[in-house]
Structure 1
Amino acid sequence: MTATHHLWLPASTDLTLLSDEIHVWRIELDQPELQLQNLAATLSSDEMARAERFYFQEHRQRFIAGRGILRTILGRYLGIQPLQVQFNYQQRGKPVLADTFADSGLEFNLSHSQGMGLCAVNCTHPIGVDLEYIRSMSDIEALAKRFFLPREYEMLRSLSPNQQQEVFFRYWTCKEAYLKATGDGLSQLEQVEVLLTPTEPAKLQILEDWSLFELVPTNNYVAAVAIANYGWNLKCWQY
């Protein structure tokens, strides 16, 4: 796997986000009951209502943990309490900071899979992050044929079944991270060409200047971060 096994460091209390930095936070979504209660207390009424709509308790608890920890992280950058963080929602429900915080220039994106979440934060540029748990799927070639471009599909077909699983999810996270950064939906998945091999890191085959980072948050997970421009310094924090 070519994606870097970054060091996930504990963040210092006086957190500074420099203009050339991307901060990626690794979040454990399975939190103890007491911590969950504390996090739930930071959520807005509409977030709690959304949490209550989950059928399974595990999904409800993971939503509360993810949203509460997101509020805690953003509050640290903004110098406010988690409860004071306010969101607006774009189409497809993507949360962004409310207009009140426009001066901060803070951009963020959140992704979660199973019991893990990733939050990517930047000063000025829209950013996208996607995280996937590598799971065994029987119809991987059919999915690739449907959603991927011909070159990507051929690349996947040339691999052993074992390699196919990981490469499929690498393609998927790279495309999804870019679509989340631009605000385009999954219907645009086949518009985004990604160049990668089992031994080479991914690149976006598009005209604009975009940076793509592949990450391995832990075993059996792959992730990608997409952001406009080059020259970014990536820092990985463990919440």
Structure 2
Amino acid sequence: MIAVVPLWNSPPLDLTLDLGEIHVWRVSLAQTESCLQSLQQTLSTDERTKADRFVFPKDRSQFIVSRGALRAILSRYLNISSHILRFDYNPYGKPSLIVAQGGNTLRFNLSHSRGMALIAITKNRDIGVDIEGLNANFYCLEIAEKFFSPLENSVLRSLPEHLQATAFFTCWTRKEAYIKAVGKGLSIPLNKFDVSLAPGEPAALLNVEGNPEEASKWSLIELFPSSYMVAAVAVAGDCWKLHCWEWTGEF
């Protein structure tokens, strides 16, 4: 799949999600106090309990905004109040809507980093998203040695030094998006499958160890949410139309 440098537009009032479409929402986690309080009121008891466990107020606020925005956005597709949405969780912790509220049809995933969240939504197929902030001073080669596959490490080390950090985070987001889409988290070892990472190379799942047919079942989409962040979406199948929306705090 090609890289996408999207325009993050305000969604139409008559928002719809058709089969084959993917909607990705960009959410700023820096909201006003009044917005924060309104979002908190929509959270479930267990979500509020989790929010209260955060030691630092900033982390607590960002959790409330990310979960509250997720509820607000899903409620637009379902045409029901955000506070009544209920989630199930699979054995690895991936959330989904309960079946009675469209969990069999509407699929979503959320990721956040450095004050920004992305929420990816589609129908009738698994989806995962990951966002990471770029860090030129990150010890990328050392971390890659522990978590990336031999092929990925070979490609990463072959790149000019000034490109290695961006390639590292590009690789990381693609791998995270895939394991989140599959829904098994880090029970899938990151070094047991390969993704593309070289600059200019199309985003792709290249190979999954022990499962030669798996790579052909998935599409990867590279996104650039800002000048200092990279992101990726993994989705089952290869027929898609992408829309990128900006969440502006509406309920």
- TM-score normalized with structure 2 length: 0.91
Say which is worse superposed, 191-200 or 149-158, in terms of deviation: 191-200
The verdict on how the C-alpha distance between 1:213 and 1:50 changes in structure 2, with shifts beyond 3 A counting, is same
State the 1:113 CA deviation.
0.4
Q: What SS is found at the alignment partner of 1:122?
A: strand
Q: Deviations over 1:44-80 (max 9, x none)?
A: 1111111000000000000000000000000000110
Distance in 1 between the 2:133 and 2:234 partners?
18
Distance in 2 between the 1:161 and 1:57 partners?
37
What is the identity, as a one-letter code, of the residue corresponding to 1:172? W
- Percent identical among aligned pairs is 47
Q: Which residue of 2 aligns with 1:236?
A: 244
Say which is worse superposed, 118-127 or 132-141, in terms of deviation: 132-141
Q: Deviations over 1:136-169 (max 9, x none)?
A: 3442111111111112101111223321111000
State the 1:103 CA deviation.
6.5
Q: Which residue of 2 aligns with 1:58?
A: 58
Q: Which residue of 2 aligns with 1:226?
A: 234
Q: What SS is found at the alignment partner of 1:112?
A: strand
Written as runs of structure 1 = structure 2, the 5 A alignment for 1:1-239 is 3-102=3-102, 105-186=105-186, 187-206=188-207, 207-208=213-214, 209-239=217-247
Say which is worse superposed, 107-116 or 81-90, in terms of deviation: 81-90
Distance in 2 between the 1:231 and 1:90 partners?
26
- TM-score normalized with structure 1 length: 0.95
Q: Deviations over 1:27-55 (max 9, x none)?
A: 00111101101111111111111100000
Q: What SS is found at the alignment partner of 1:6?
A: coil
Structure 1: state its 5+ residue gaps: none
CA contact (8 A) 1:131 1:173 kept: yes
Say which is worse superposed, 83-92 or 56-65, in terms of deviation: 83-92
Q: What SS is found at the alignment partner of 2:4?
A: coil
The verdict on how the C-alpha distance between 1:53 and 1:235 changes in structure 2, with shifts beyond 3 A counting, is same
Distance in 1 between the 2:180 and 2:221 partners?
14
Structure 2: state its 5+ residue gaps: 208-212
Distance in 1 between the 2:66 and 2:92 partners?
18
